[in-house]
């Protein structure tokens, strides 16, 4: 695969929601767009996807929405051909193991963003920038807390998480009361999805 642009968490501080989820989602979308295009144009790339047994449920449905109907037909036909061959050779086993290439890429990127976040945390200017964001989802917060680090950074992460939760709670309360009256929304307009992301991370994020 052609090297895709490597995003830094530094660019994510102006967006709402979890920083790591945000950058990861954009990495994943770029990768899927590129892969989708190449599986149709390049036999070799398509055969790699076929030998991985296609994509996981989540990514297959996402890829299907990005691809054209004929693109979906070309890939699924090759997957079916491979399965027919397996049955004919007698190698069709009861266990289904899908090595989803998008999950694999996303795992690598996530690992790298967690490491980058940890490195950025040692900069005081980044700590200030981070405080002004919505913070991390609890999945990524736990990933950071599980890294070996000094007690001071651990304290900083917990204190800022608590602050982010309290701010979000106020936004949710404002949103709920405005829904019942004025509907003149400000930043609380997005509070409900920021809150959902805080609980479970971005759509499709695995623990």
Among 49, 50, 100, 157, binds Zn ion (CB under 5 A): 100
Q: Is 73 exposed, middle or buried (0-12, 13-18, 19+ CB in 10 A)?
A: exposed
Q: Establish if 23 lies at the interface with Zn ion (CB under 5 A).
A: no
Q: Establish if 49 lies at the interface with Zn ion (CB under 5 A).
A: no
Q: Establish if 18 lies at the interface with Zn ion (CB under 5 A).
A: yes
Give yes or no for a contact between 18 and 140, defined as CB atoms under 8 angstroms apart.
yes
Q: Which of 16-24, 27-35, 46-54, 166-174 is the region at the interface with Zn ion (rule: CB under 5 A)?
A: 16-24
Smallest gap from Cβ 90 to Zn ion, in A, equals: 29
Give SS3 for 205.
coil
Non-local CB neighbours of 154 within 8 Å, separated by 6+ positions: 145
Smallest gap from Cβ 182 to Zn ion, in A, equals: 32
DSSP code, position 9: G
Q: Establish if 63 lies at the interface with Zn ion (CB under 5 A).
A: no
Q: Establish if 201 lies at the interface with Zn ion (CB under 5 A).
A: yes
Angle between helices 101-120 and 57-66 (to 10 degrees): 100
Q: Which residues make up the interface to Zn ion (CB under 5 A)?
A: 18, 20-21, 56, 59, 100, 102-103, 137, 140, 201
């Amino acid at each position: 695969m052609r090297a895709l642009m490597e995003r830094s968490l530094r660019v994510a501080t102006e967006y709402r929601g979890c920083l790591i989820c945000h950058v990861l989602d954009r990495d994943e979308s770029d990768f899927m767009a590129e892969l989708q295009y190449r599986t149709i144009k390049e036999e070799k790339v398509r055969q790699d996807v076929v030998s991985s047994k296609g994509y996981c449920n989540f990514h297959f449905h996402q890829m299907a929405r990005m691809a054209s109907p004929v693109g979906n037909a070309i890939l699924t036909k090759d997957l079916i051909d491979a399965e027919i061959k397996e049955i004919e050779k007698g190698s069709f086993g009861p266990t289904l193991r899908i090595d989803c290439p998008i999950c694999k890429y996303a795992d690598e990127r996530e690992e790298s963003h967690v490491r980058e976040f940890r490195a950025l945390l040692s900069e005081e200017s980044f700590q200030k920038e981070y405080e002004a964001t919505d913070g991390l989802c609890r999945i990524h917060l736990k990933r950071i807390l599980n890294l070996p680090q000094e007690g001071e950074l651990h304290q900083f992460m917990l204190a800022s998480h608590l602050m982010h939760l309290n701010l979000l709670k106020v936004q949710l309360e404002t949103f709920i009361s405005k829904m019942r009256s004025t509907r003149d929304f400000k930043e609380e307009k997005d509070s409900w999805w920021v809150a959902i992301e805080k609980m479970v991370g971005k759509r499709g994020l695995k623990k």
